[in-house]
Structure 1
Amino acid sequence: MDSASDTREVRYRRSVATVDADESWALARRLADGETDCCDALMARLGSPPPLIAWNPDPQDLDSVALRHLAEWWRDAAAEAGGPPGPDTVDPLMLRPALGAISLLDVLDGGRDFRFRLHGSDIATTLGTDMTGMMVGQMTIPFMAFLTVTYRAQILRPEPLLLRYTPAMQFFLSAWWRIGLPLMRDGEVVRLLVGMERAPRQSEL
């Protein structure tokens, strides 16, 4: 293996590294408490720049038409419900402007794992795979350890969460804007509605 290939392989192994459950939940609690830079060290370990993380973004501040539409829908649905809306309120007709950019994740065992109930067609085309039906904990995908932390943080703090992050492997993965919107039933987050759109890459480490 030449040095260039070796470097690529090392970066790949770094980017798919796992985080044990105790560390993941500890980071999730810090993030839920508002410590939005708590994942910087984790992303550095995964070979990526520090992510942008913001709770409760103003929908009007989102440049993406699709993500703005999702954020406005959730805000209005939450106002009507008096809190995070339930999963049954998700209406494809209401979300039509963002359908290709939407994923739905079922929360399993209180956040022990997550399953893709739906994976948006635009996202699947960009990544080259449809993750519908797949379990997050079984995936060897760059930065999934980071995303799991953010999913768990939204279980602890059921509010919209905006992310911008850049995978380490620039030769085939895009940077992303992502907004996670919690859906609750009987006082528990049971599903996450996630909108994603490609973003310009941050500078590599």
Structure 2
Amino acid sequence: MKDITYSTEYLWARAKELVNEDYVSLSLLMKQLGSPVPTVHWNLPEDKLPQPELQFLFKWWKDKKGERMAPSPSDVDPFELKGILGKIAVLEVIDTGEEFKYRLYGSAIMPEPGKDLTGKLLSDIWTPMRAFFAITYRAVVLRKEPLYTRHEPHHSLKMAEWDRIILPLSDGTEVERIIVALVPVKTEE
């Protein structure tokens, strides 16, 4: 499949639509990528999240957040998250969301050699799904709220579907990092 790349204007326009819960263009993008329409929910209650790992991270996030907009990036403690650390990615928000850098990429997300994205920019990753990721990450930066998605990736990943919870991290009023739990729903035979 041809890797689809889009202009920053395209990605921001789709992110703003996602913030406003307009999913038409996102559905068209996924169709272009050969994937079905993703499931997308803002602020899904903890007990409605389908995976225990997502529930765990969301509860951690709410507990750390308290009365603030979001937990601080310094609240991320590997010892507190050790039960799901391999399924977590932490991304630094660069230039208010123009780019994202993987500060941590859990070893259970993609355990194949050479697939560790730690230290890499989102724009440099190999998957055609990076446009979908950029749109969802930018939407979280804009809306500053938790986003749950279930999507079907490119067939080369041999995963039928992935569940994700994307959570903002901040020391003030702007999202500085995001923390994401990624859990495979089922693998293809």
> In the alignment, what sits opposite 2:144?
158
Which residue of the other structure, out of 25, 40, 50, is the alignment partner of 1:53? 40
TM-score, normalised to structure 1, is 0.85
Deviant stretches of 4+, over 6 Å: none
The alpha-carbon deviation at position 128 of structure 1 amounts to 6.0
User: Is contact 1:127-1:173 (8 Å) kept?
Assistant: no
Shift in CA distance, 184/122, structure 1 to aligned 2, threshold 3 Å: same
The alpha-carbon deviation at position 67 of structure 1 amounts to 1.0
User: Is contact 2:117-2:125 (8 Å) kept?
Assistant: no
Partner of 2:176, secondary structure, is strand
Could you tell me which amino acid in structure 1 is paired with residue 184 of structure 2? R
> In the alignment, what sits opposite 1:106?
92
Separation in structure 2 between the aligned mates of residue 185 and residue 201 of structure 1, nearest angstrom: 38
The alpha-carbon deviation at position 126 of structure 1 amounts to 5.8
> In the alignment, what sits opposite 2:29?
42
> In the alignment, what sits opposite 1:142?
128
Separation in structure 2 between the aligned mates of residue 19 and residue 55 of structure 1, nearest angstrom: 24
> In the alignment, what sits opposite 2:158?
173
- Is structure 2 residue 12 aligned with structure 1 residue 18? no
Structure whose alpha-carbon radius of gyration is higher: 1
Separation in structure 1 between the aligned mates of residue 124 and residue 23 of structure 2, nearest angstrom: 26
Partner of 2:108, secondary structure, is helix
Separation in structure 2 between the aligned mates of residue 144 and residue 35 of structure 1, nearest angstrom: 20
TM-score, normalised to structure 2, is 0.92
Separation in structure 2 between the aligned mates of residue 127 and residue 172 of structure 1, nearest angstrom: 13
Could you tell me which amino acid in structure 2 is paired with residue 64 of structure 1? Q
User: Is contact 1:67-1:98 (8 Å) kept?
Assistant: no
The alpha-carbon deviation at position 37 of structure 1 amounts to 4.5
The alpha-carbon deviation at position 45 of structure 1 amounts to 1.0
> In the alignment, what sits opposite 1:121?
107
The alpha-carbon deviation at position 36 of structure 1 amounts to 3.9
Separation in structure 2 between the aligned mates of residue 81 and residue 93 of structure 1, nearest angstrom: 23
Separation in structure 2 between the aligned mates of residue 178 and residue 101 of structure 1, nearest angstrom: 10
Separation in structure 2 between the aligned mates of residue 135 and residue 182 of structure 1, nearest angstrom: 18
Q: Alignment length, in residue pairs?
A: 187
The alpha-carbon deviation at position 124 of structure 1 amounts to 2.8
Could you tell me which amino acid in structure 2 is paired with residue 199 of structure 1? V
User: Is contact 1:104-1:119 (8 Å) kept?
Assistant: yes
Q: Note the alpha carbon deviations across 1:3-62, whole angstroms, 9 max, x for none.
A: xxxxxxxxx21xx21121111101101111122454100111111110000001111122
